[in-house]
Structure 1
Amino acid sequence: METALSLCIGIGLSAACGFRVFVPLLVMSVASLVGWFEPMQGFEWVAMPAVCFGLAVATLCEISAYYIPWVDNVLDTVSTPAAMIAGTLATMAVSSGEMSQFASWAAAIIVGGGTAGAVQMSTVAVRALSTATTGGIGNPVVSTGEWISALLLSILALIMPVLVVIIVVIMTLWGLRWFKRRKSLQA
């Protein structure tokens, strides 16, 4: 049960990493500092005040940069691998002690990195669509939705992890349905 719960938390945090790389890591750090979350052995650095401050600065820089026209599109290129790495680390930091080290890393890479990558790729598609249809004028709305989604998913992942997995599954199904509908209209 503990393993399933930690995977649910990992999925939620990884999905949030797909929206914004640093927001879930900052939420984990703050939660660690106030005692709401205890990272796995080897990830105690998340609970250091200096790391929390650094993540706060990185979060503010990342969120701000997405409001600069055309920089947001360039950031999407860099953010895809970064989101996958952050999703892997976030999942590993919450992984269960019941799993072997190899199984924990395998699950973190597959589940965490995969979830973050899938969400990030969908945000890239939404931003590209926004850029193409509005010339980039609509991108700040997309950016606002992304960082708010990252924050809410991160907090909910630590409070109600099973609900977050349900939300992620629904978002995925909705996204696939939208993509199929769009493809059929283009054909």
Structure 2
Amino acid sequence: MLATLTGLGLSTAAGLNAYIPLLVVGLLGRFTDAVRPPDEFAWMTNGWVLAIIAVLLLAEVVLDKVPVVDHVNDIVQTAIRPASGGAVFTATAAAAEADASAWMRDNPWASWLAGIVIALLVHLAKASTRPVVNATTAGVGAPVVSTAEDAGSLGLSLVAVFAPILVIVAVIALAALGWPAVRRVRRRRARQAGRAG
């Protein structure tokens, strides 16, 4: 159960920022015993891989705070964030095999699929609300919202590793914060469709 909650938290974090949970898992796996990725995920702890992820994270942090550029970045991230979610979910579920369910151990594709779907759903919600934030704040809100997303991704990644039982609370809080924004996007699109028709 705890391995699944860890995977849930990390893949949710990957939907907000692909590189933060990868870097958290990689650094903790390299320098501590908090996470021990299995052999097939040893690449996550490689120094060169960590350096590349850190550079990509820096680029993401900068690009995601610039209006319009953030939208282009979200399009590119549509493939990257779900892949990251699948990787961190599977790496941590496999690392905690003693804690993982027998079904998850026997069907590793299930953790890949779960991580991909969770990260994709979070990413789609994030990507659909950002144009509304940019339009309603004349772009001023982009850096604020992006910084909150990065902080949320880091916080959720750390909670997922060190206090996985709290992931349930964190995911509910994220959904409660995100749902009103998604509803505003839907209302705005409905109004625009009404004007066009």
TM-score (norm 1): 0.87
Amino acid corresponding to residue 17 of structure 2 in structure 1: R
- In structure 1, the residue matched to 2:161 is 158
State yes or no: 1:106 paired with 2:110.
yes
Gap runs ≥5 in structure 1: none
1:76 corresponds to which residue? 74
Q: What residue identity is the alignment partner of 2:74?
A: D
Identity of aligned residues (%): 30
Q: What displacement does 1:101 show?
A: 6.0
Distance 1:183 1:134, change over 3 A: same
Task: State the 1:144 CA deviation.
Answer: 0.6
- After superposition, the Cα gap between the structure-2 partners of 1:159 and 1:101, relative to the gap in structure 1 and judged at 3 Å, is closer
Q: Distance in 2 between matches of 1:18 and 1:38?
A: 22
Aligned counterpart for 1:144 among listed residues 136, 147, 150 = 147
Conserved in 2, the CA contact under 8 Å of 1:40 and 1:95?
no
Give the 5 Å matches for 1:1-187. 4-35=1-32, 36-96=34-94, 97=97, 98-99=102-103, 103-109=107-113, 111-176=114-179, 179-180=182-183
CA contact (8 A) 2:129 2:181 kept: no
- Inter-CA distance 132–169: structure 2 relative to 1 (3 Å threshold): same
State how far apart, in whole Å, the 2-side matches of 1:184 and 1:67 are: 25
Residues in 2 aligned to 1:176 and 1:139: alpha-carbon distance in whole angstroms: 18
**Most deviating of 69-78 and 177-186:** 177-186
Q: Distance in 2 between matches of 1:62 and 1:48?
A: 21
Q: Quote the Cα distance in structure 1 between the aligned partners of 2:143 and 2:8.
A: 26
Q: Deviations over 1:5-61 (max 9, x none)?
A: 111111111011011111110111110111221012300111112221121111111
Paired residue type of 1:139: A
Q: Residues of 2 paired with 1:85 and 1:70: CA distance?
A: 24
Runs of 4 or more, structure 1, over 2 Å off, are 96-102, 169-187
Asked which structure has the greater CA Rg, the reply is: 2
